[in-house]
Amino acid sequence: MHASAVVCDERVTENQSQSPCKARHFKAIEGIPSTYILEKLHQLGPRYYGDKSTAFAELYVEGIDKPFWVHEEYLVLQSVFFQETLQNVTSGDIITITLPSPDTFEHILQYLYDGDADKWYDTLTPENYFGVWQNIESLGLGIEARAICLTYYHSEIKKKNLNDDDDDDDDEEMIDDDMMDDDDEEECIR
C-alpha cells in the first residue's frame, strides 16, 4: 500500500483558521517517503495511543464496550478499510465498525500506533491467530502485518501440528510446498 500523510502539530493558534491535519485528502510531503513518515508516527505512537485530547474520532467496534480514541493518520496510512471508511468522517465524529474478531482488535490497533511487531506477536495464541488474520484481511492491512501473522503460523501452529502428528510429515511438507508456491498469502492459514 502506498500512502502518505501530512505530519503536523495539532496546536491551533489564534490566527490559524484550520490545522493542515484537518485536510480531507492527505498529500505527500514532497521528497519524503511515506515509510519514513510512518516510522516517525510509530515513534510518537505510544504518546498518542488512546489520547482523547488529540484524537480525530471516537471509534467503537461492535462487541467491545469501550471507545477507542483514534488518529486518522495512523489508520489511513496502514489500512485500506480505514482509508475508505474515514473519507466522509470529520474530526470529532463517532464511528462504529464491525470486525470478524472484535476481541483481537485492540492489539492490532496498538500495533498500528507503535509498530512494535514483537509486542504484537507476543499477543498471538493458537486460539486467536485465525481471528487476527481475519481482522488483518478485513482491515486491509499491509504486508508487514500479514508477515507477523504468517510468521506466528509457521513458528507456532504449523510446528505444533508437525509435533502432534509425526506420521504425516510427508503430507505436511507437501502442503507447505504448495503454500510457498501460491502467491495468495491467505492460503497459508487455511
Q: Which pLDDT tens digit goes with each residue over 25-72?
A: 444 566 778 788 899 999 999 999 999 999 999 999 999 999 999 999
Residue 5 inside a domain? The answer is no
Number of domains in the chain: 1
pTM, entire model:
0.70
Residue 180 inside a domain? The answer is no
- Give the CATH number for residue 112: 3.30.710.10
Residue 186 inside a domain? The answer is no
> Does residue 96 surpass a pLDDT of 90?
yes
Q: Which pLDDT tens digit goes with each residue over 143-184?
A: 999 999 999 999 888 777 666 665 444 444 433 443 444 444
Residue 124 inside a domain? The answer is yes
Domain housing 96: 34-162
DSSP state of 79: B
pLDDT of residue 164: 65
